[in-house]
Amino acid sequence: MNTTTSHSNPSGISLPIVAFIGGGNMSSALIGGLLGAGAMAARILVVEPFAEQRQRLQQRFGGVRLLDAPGAELRDAQAVVWAVKPQQFAQAAADCRPHLADALQVSIMAGVRCAAIARKTGAQRLVRTMPNTPALIGQGITGLYASAQASAADRAVADALLAPAGARVWVEREDLLDAVTAVSGSGPAYAFYLAEAMSRAGEELGLTAAQARELALATLAGAAALAQGSSESLATLRANVTSKGGTTAAALAVFDAADMQATIGRALHAAAQRAKELGDALDVD
């Protein structure tokens, strides 16, 4: 797979005027990060029909331009970030389309394909992204795919817009976003599942619920940080902490007897297949 990963923050580049369509959780996380990295609030527009949400955005990000409906102001935008629920996209795009200039379209909507975005917006320069929930605290990872018409400068803009969500991994084929969904999009739930099982077992072994939860979560976070800072393969890192005849070996033997690696493999294939099906269902009109 041809990918590039970046971890930098967006302060190195000057952002164009950006319009966020939808001012919910993801938009708020991205806007907060962009402002924190020095972006000018006046260069950010948000179309958000829900008055209470606009008020929240106003309080949190004074100076950002808030619109209750798309209007002529959208023409200023050089990049448009689609951050509504996938089911809301068709209506939102129909409302915005008369006001969209020749802007780069960046989507964070799960499952909505470039073909559908091009059809509904009339644009060709597209970047489709798949963030995950730790994006909400700046510790996510986002898969990104650019249409053939998007330039290197467009990719840089999209990369900077998603930087507040965490690291970015670019993929060279759109269908690989289904694989990204299977690994990192749905991945936080796998980590919670493992932490849940570790915590429960810790309690069975006599720890308090709080102790078991803290030990499980800190172990997953610490192991991930250790692996990220190492050039060793994951298999080597695992072998390094598995002495022959020791405690870790006893646990891993139980995993192997249950064929855990193959089970996890099947689970991720099921997630990728479901991502494809959901994409097909959203790609009908």
Ligand X SMILES: NC(=O)c1ccc[n+]([C@@H]2O[C@H](COP(=O)([O-])OP(=O)(O)OC[C@H]3O[C@@H](n4cnc5c(N)ncnc54)[C@H](OP(=O)(O)O)[C@@H]3O)[C@@H](O)[C@H]2O)c1
Kindly list the residues in this chain that would bind ligand X in the complex (CB under 6 A): 21-27, 47-50, 53, 83-86, 88, 91-92, 95, 108-110, 131-133, 135-136
CB of 34 to ligand X, least distance (A): 15
Nearest approach, Cβ of 91 to ligand X (angstroms)? 5
Shortest Cβ contact with ligand X: which residue? 24
Q: Among residues 17 and 141, whose Cβ is nearest to ligand X?
A: 141
Instruction: Count helices and strands (H / E) in the chain.
Output: 11, 9
Nearer of residues 24 and 138 to ligand X, judged by Cβ: 24
Residue with tokens 């959208």: 74
| Secondary structure letter of residue 148 according to DSSP | T
Secondary structure (DSSP) of 192-235: HHHHHHHHHHHHHTT--HHHHHHHHHHHHHHHHHHHHT--S-HH
Minimum distance of ligand X from residue 84's CB (angstroms):
4
**Of 49 and 71, CB closest to ligand X:** 49
Q: Which two tokens stand for residue 160?
A: 């900077």
By beta-carbon proximity to ligand X, the closer residue of 24 and 203 is 24
Select from 24, 22, 19 the least CA-distant residue to 60.
24
- Which is nearest to 135 in space by CA: 166, 181, 169? 166
Across the chain, which distance is largest between two alpha carbons, in Å? Answer: 70
